[in-house]
Amino acid sequence: MECNHADKLIMKYMDGILSMEEAQKLNFHITECESCRESFFTYQMVMDELRDEAVYEAPDGFEAAVMAKIKDIEVDYKLKEPMSMENITAMLWGMFSLLFGIGVLLCIYSQPILDYLLGNPYTMDWAQAMIPTVEVLAVYVNDIKTRLQELVSSGSQILTSLKMIAIPVLVVLASIKYYIYRKQKVEL
């Protein structure tokens, strides 16, 4: 082993991260090489000195400061802990409401959205490919509409107002859930 490698191993030893195998190598080298032996014992002396100094000259409140630091670290750690069941439920509910709201919106306004996309040169091709999907969607939406109209005796009047109410309600619900979720996260 070369002396500069031995020097690196001495540093690792001082940091307490020397492996068993490395320790054996270092031990072997310092029995052979006087200069590395000297530097090894010099380092060790310096380290011992520093350790003693730290013990004797620990200022008042040092322990309290260390404990406070540890508490800080614990708080940091807590934030990284897995979310509570309530938070997960709130988040999932918020996401579900939002996606449902977007889905309802897309179903209702699929035709005007498609028309807009078809008119835009950048999305034209993509929109062209979406036409069959939108048509299928429209059939489903119309089917649901018809059934609902059959169910509701006063017909499309109520259905229209339901649409007008449902979307804002869903958006508000999602926002509230998301707000609660954020607030809980901050309070942790």
How many amino acids of this chain bind Zn ion (CB under 5 A)?
4
- Which DSSP symbol is given to 68? H
Of the pair 33, 108, the CB lying nearest Zn ion is at 33
Query: Virtual CA dihedral for 43, 46, 51, 57, nearest 10 degrees?
Result: -160
Closest approach of Zn ion to the CB of residue 54, in Å: 30
And the tokens for 80? 């990284």
33 near Zn ion, judged by CB under 5 A: yes
Closest approach of Zn ion to the CB of residue 40, in Å: 9
Of the pair 6, 91, the CB lying nearest Zn ion is at 6
Sign (positive or negative) of CA dihedral 17, 23, 29, 33: positive
Member of 26, 36, 134, 174 binding Zn ion (CB under 5 A): 36
Of the pair 33, 95, the CB lying nearest Zn ion is at 33
The CA-atom distances, in angstroms, between 117 and each of 92, 107, 121, 129 are 31, 15, 8, 11
List interacting residues with Zn ion (CB under 5 A).
3, 6, 33, 36
